[in-house]
Amino acid sequence: ICLTNLKNQSLHGTSPVTTFGPKACMLQNPHAVMHIQDPASQRLTWNKPPKSVLVIKKIQDASLLQPFKELCVFLTEKNMIVYVERKVLADPVIQADESFAAVIQKFCTFREDLDDISNRVDFIICLGGDGTLLYASSLFQKSVPPVMSFHLGSLGFLTPFNFDTYQSQVTQIIEGNAAIILRSRLRVVKESREKNARVDKKGIIMTKGDSEGSRKAMQYQVLNEVVVDRGPFSYLSNVDLFLDGHLITTVQGDGVIVSTPTGSTAYAVAAGASMIHPNVPAIMITPICPHSLSFRPIVVPAGVELKIMLSRDSRNTAWVSFDGRKRQEICHGDNITITTSCFPVPSICFQDPVNDWFESLAQCLHWNVRKKQNYLSSKEDVF
């Protein structure tokens, strides 16, 4: 049992759960040292054969309709219970396909933020780009079922599977023959003061009556990053950054990115951060266009607690988004607390966690690609 409301004393962060959804878990390695497994040895196994699958398709993309239909027909033929979001089936092209109508009748549908499917889905299949994996993560605020992602989008850094051989690949997953990588998430709590509360000159919230009733807290599970920025304002953002209760710096610039190792290859790398393998237990803090030549990105242990607040003398409010969604304003008196979640996303690998990551660096980001230096023959002068 993971107690997310208690401060974890380990610098490595909370121990991630190793059960994913109703039936999946990580195959335990008896040779693991200190319960930290070699990334290449992390394997998927099933307590019971999987019976249900959630299919996530990128909406408003006509090129995905045929792969979506083929996959769903294949899954129903294997007697799998297929869950599909209701808005996906609202596509006029799908509605007009009479040959697909019989398959649709077998689907179980749900609505985002309204229906809880966390204990109904055994594993997830994503059709699209990296955004489909982020969306799948947002649907599960606790334990996440294993996720298999097919590269049918634009970048595909997090989607290692090619759809051409989907039948054999999906069959291997159902049989429990696959490597997985545990992508850590951030547990983010945003506390906001109510409108009837005010802030004095020292930044203390002044309320009428019960102080507990004057605050509202929202919790999010974030796979890539939390971004705090200046929003529509022309002034610099001015936010205080605390680490385990201590003020470590005030961010003056366009904003700050707090990311997971998975998110280090997203917005953070565009802002000048290093790329971190997803198995590294860490949190990355990256400023966005800081008004300081010495403010460099830093990496802190996964076990710390970060808190972001609007500085008392800030000229304007700031804005925050979670994996590019749920964008909202940060006012004086609000605070954002960020820790490593104990509910990672178990992402199914094409080969293994190490090879998949370097393959994505090479194919998607063209890491260290340059024209090679010509070879010098022994007869040529070195100088």
The catalytic residue positions are 130
Structure tokens at 178: 């696959």
Q: How far is CA 381 from CA 173, 373, 374, in A?
A: 57, 15, 13
Q: How far is CA 87 from CA 57, 103, 112, in A?
A: 10, 16, 9
**Phi/psi of residue 356, each to 5°?**
-60, -40
CA 340 – CA 322 distance, rounded (Å):
14
Q: What is the CA radius of gyration of the chain?
A: 23
Nearest one of 295, 301, 296 to 280, comparing CA atoms: 301
Start-to-end C-alpha separation, the chain: 65
Count of other CB atoms within 10 angstroms of residue 362: 12
Asked if 323 contacts 132 with a C-beta cutoff of 8 angstroms, the reply is no
Instruction: Please say whether the beta carbons of 358 and 32 come within 8 A.
Output: no
Cβ contact 229:239 at 8 Å: no
